[in-house]
């Protein structure tokens, strides 16, 4: 294309290009806002349902925005005070925290070894654990349940927590991170007389804080939202987790009205939401990283 032809084409398509640019701009904003509405509205709706007077029918108040603070608060209070919800909350928080502690501690100890040292059987062991990432949970969930039952751990905290502690994903993430720790630093610690465990405790662990926090958050999200496992391992109502309680409210025979159900939901969403609002960057980056490396 000769220079003059190019410039004349540019001149004539210049205005077309500008129009094109503006169409794209407007379009993308419109689409983005629509998607944002779709993404957020269900949650917004849930809030509105909770904070609305149940007596007012939907035809008058379509629940597009919160209308009654008092009604919502009284529902929340009722659920917390008169049902087992609060207990389920505590159980789930304990479940999540214990799982996080266990996964982080056990995983980081093992990751320390796999990332930095050689010993007989290391490759085989690590290979097996990595392979397990590819094994779908379907094949283990029932036999694991049977094992837990055999151990007498049904309806107990250890039954909920312990089977999930050997997290292959957690190990993978921590190993990736710890590999970047300089070997000379570990050797310096050895020369400083630190025992193996002390090197882990004083050097590797503090330096892995970032990865550990991300893992903790991801573990929390996974645990809080875990439905199938508590369903089968903790079927006794006394040890229900939040997920199960919500499921209870949700069941057709519970004869609960929608606003009560939504209140239960709302309470259940608070911790993950808070975590998300504070840590969103870490969560998003953690997931993005596992995807591009996996």
> Rule CB under 8 A: which of 226-265 touch another protein?
226-228, 232, 243, 246-247, 249-252, 258, 261-262, 265
Q: Tell how far CA 291 is from the center of its chain.
A: 15
Q: Which of 52, 163, 173, 178 binds another protein (CB under 8 A)?
A: 163
Q: Which of 89, 95, 114, 172 binds another protein (CB under 8 A)?
A: 114
Total number of residues that touch another protein (CB under 8 A): 108
Q: How many Cα atoms are found within 13 Å in the side-chain-facing hemisphere of 162?
A: 15
Residues 3-42 that bind another protein (CB under 8 A): 24, 28, 31-32, 35-36, 38-40, 42
- Write down the residue that tokens 């640019």 correspond to: 21
Under a CB-based contact definition with an 8 Å cutoff, are residues 100 and 217 in contact? no
In sequence order, what are the residues at sequence separation of 6 or more whose Cβ sits closer than 8 angstroms to the Cβ of residue 161? Answer: 95, 98, 99, 102
Closer to another protein by CB, 71 or 226: give it: 226
Closer to another protein by CB, 80 or 269: give it: 269
List the x/- string, 180-219, binding to another protein by CB under 8 A: --x-xx-xxxxxxxxxxxx-x-xx--xx------------
Closest CA to 176 of 120, 111, 220: 111
* Helix, strand, coil shares, percent, the chain, to 5: 80, 0, 20
Q: Which of 89, 107, 115, 239 binds another protein (CB under 8 A)?
A: 107
Q: How is residue 7 written in tokens?
A: 């410039």
Residues 41-80 that bind another protein (CB under 8 A): 42-43, 45-46, 49, 57-58, 62-63
In sequence order, what are the residues at sequence separation of 6 or more whose Cβ sits closer than 8 angstroms to the Cβ of residue 274? Answer: none
Residue 136 interacting with another protein (CB under 8 A): yes
Residue 146 interacting with another protein (CB under 8 A): yes
């Amino acid at each position: 294309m000769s220079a003059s032809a190019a410039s004349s084409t540019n001149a004539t398509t210049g205005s077309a290009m500008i129009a094109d640019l503006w169409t794209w701009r407007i379009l993308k904003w419109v689409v983005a806002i629509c998607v944002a509405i779709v993404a957020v509205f269900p949650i917004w709706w849930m809030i509105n349902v909770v904070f609305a007077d149940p007596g007012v029918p939907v035809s008058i108040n379509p629940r597009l925005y919160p209308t009654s603070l008092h009604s919502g608060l009284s529902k929340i209070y009722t659920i917390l005070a008169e049902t087992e919800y609060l207990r389920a909350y505590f159980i789930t928080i304990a479940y999540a925290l214990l799982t996080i502690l266990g996964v982080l501690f056990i995983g980081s100890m093992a990751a320390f070894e796999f990332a930095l040292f050689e010993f007989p059987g290391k490759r085989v062991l690590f290979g097996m654990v990595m392979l397990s990432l590819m094994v779908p949970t379907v094949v283990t969930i029932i036999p694991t349940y049977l094992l837990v039952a055999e151990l007498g751990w049904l309806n107990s905290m250890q039954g909920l927590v312990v089977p999930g502690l050997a997290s292959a994903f957690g190990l993978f993430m921590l190993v990736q991170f710890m590999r970047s720790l300089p070997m000379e630093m570990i050797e310096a610690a050895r020369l400083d007389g630190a025992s193996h465990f002390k090197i882990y405790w004083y050097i590797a662990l503090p330096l892995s804080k970032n990865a550990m926090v991300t893992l903790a958050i991801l573990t929390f999200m996974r645990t809080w939202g875990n439905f199938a496992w508590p369903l089968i391992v903790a079927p006794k109502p006394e040890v229900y987790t939040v997920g199960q309680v919500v499921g209870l409210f949700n069941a057709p025979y519970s004869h609960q009205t929608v606003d009560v159900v939504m209140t239960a939901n709302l309470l259940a969403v608070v911790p993950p939401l808070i975590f998300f609002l504070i840590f969103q960057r870490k969560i998003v980056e953690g997931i993005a990283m596992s995807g591009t490396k996996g």
